[in-house]
Chain A
Amino acid sequence: MPDPTTTTTEAPVTDPTSATPGLHLDVRGSTPGGATVFDVRDTSVYYGDFRAVRDVNLTVKQHQITAFIGPSGCGKSTMLRCFNRMNDLIDTARVEGQISYHGVDLYDPAVNPVEVRRRIGMVFQKPNPFPKSIYENVAYGPKVAGAKGDMDEIVERALRGAALWDEVKDRLKESGMSLSGGQQQRLCIARAIATDPEVLLMDEPCSALDPIATGRIEDLMLEIKQQFTIIIVTHNMQQAARVSDRTAFFTTEVNEESDHRTGMLVEFAETDKIFSNPDDERTENYVTGRFG
C-alpha cells in the first residue's frame, strides 16, 4: 500500500484512461466559471461501525477556494479525503451518501479511483518530496501517467505554476530534500499540478511552515485558483479568512452513551459571512475562539 501521506502521483497507477466511457471525468472547461465541481449530499463516513462524520451537504464551486475549519476530530480531513477517494486506501472506511464530481458519482464502482486522483490532486500538511532530484520530483507523476510531450516543458510549467522556478531553475538536479520547508511545500504543489489536475485538495499545507513561507503559499493559492479549484483544510482561521471564498465549519457532537465523537457540518457560507456574522452560535463561538 502506498504511503497515504504522499501526493496523488504516488497512488497505485494502472491505466488512467480505464474509467467506463460513460463516466468520463475529464470535464474541465466544460462548465462555466462558478459552476459546481463537487456536490456533496447526505454524506457520512464510517470507519468500521464508527461514524466519523455525518450527513454533510455542501457544494464546491469551480475556481473558488473552499476552506474547511473546525476543532480537531471534527471530520474535516476525513471529508477532504473523500474528494479523491483517499479513504479507499483504508480497509474499514466506508462512504455513504453521494459525492458528485461534475454530476458523476465519484463512488460509482465504474469510476477508476486512480483517474480520480489524477484529476483531483492533494498536498499534505508536511512537505514530503521524494529523495530524488527536484526535476524528478516533478516529472515522476506525468511520467507514470504516460504524459506525452516535452518533459522539460512540463517540469518548468509546473515549477513556474508553483512559483518555484526562479529559485530552482539552476539546480534542478539537486535533491528535493535540500530545499527549505516552504520550498519543499511548493515543490509538492508543483508535483501535484504537474499531472494537470482540475482540483487541489490541501490538508493544512502551511502548518509546518514559518509565516513568510505561509504567506508565499497563500499568495500562490490565490494565483493558481484561476486554473484550479481548491479545497483547503486549515486550523489557521486567519488563513481561511484571507484566502478562501467559502468556508465550511465542522464541529463534533459527543454521543453520551458511547462517548464517540462524530463530526458534522454546522455552517457553510461565504467566508466573509462566516467571519463577520455567522448564523450559527457554534460557528460564532469557534471563530471568536470562545469554545474549542
Chain B
Amino acid sequence: MSAEAHHDAALVAHQFDDFEQQKNADSLGMWLFLATEVLFFGGLFCGYSLYRNLYFEAFTAGSHLIKVGYGAFYTALLICSSLTMALGVRAAQLRKQMSLNVYLVLTLIMGAAFVFIKLRYEWYGDYLEHLVPGVNFAPRGEALEVISRFHATVPHVALFFIFYFCMTGVHALHMVVGVGLLATLLIKNKLGELTKGNYNWVEIVGLYWHFVDIVWIFLFPLLYLIGGRY
C-alpha cells in the first residue's frame, strides 16, 4: 500500500519529487517548530529552577498548596490522549476513515476535558483560596499554616504561584490550540481527505500533541511533586 501511495501524483505538491520527500519535509517543519517550543518553555523552566533554588522553602510550601491529585489525573489523561492520537495516526496510515474519526474525537474530548477541569475546578479552587497573584493573593487559614510550617514568606510563595499560573497557563493555551487542530482534522476527515494515503496531516498534529504531553510530563513533578509529600 505504501508503494501505491508513493505513486499517487495527486497527493504530492508540485515542488516535491515524491510522496516520501513531501512527508519528510512536513515532519522536519513540525520538528523545527517544536525546537523553538522547547526553548520557549525552556525559558520558563530555567526561571523556575533558579528561583526554586533561591527561595527553596517558599517553593516547597507553594507545592504543598496545590493538589497532587489534579496533577496525577492530568498526567494520566494526557497519556491516554497521546495513545488515542498515536492510534489515530495508525488508522490514517491504514486508510480507516471511521476508526480515525473515533480516535480523533476521543483525543479531542480528552484535551477539552483537561482544559475544562483545569479552569473550572483547579484554578477556580485556587481563586477561592485567594492564591492567584495579581488578583487576590492573600493566603489565609490552612494555607498560611503551611507557609509558616516551611518557614517561607508570603511574597516568595506568590512567586511560586506566578510560575505555576504562567507555566500551566501557557501549557493549557497549547492544549486549546491542539484541540483546534484536532477539530480541523475531524472536518478534513469527514471530507475524506486524510485517508487517501496522505496521512502527514495527522502525523504532524500528532507530533504537536505528543510534545504538549511531554511538557506536562515535566510540569507535573516540578510543580506538584517536588518538595516532598511525606
- Whether chains A and B associate is no
Residues of B at under 8 Å CB distance from A? none
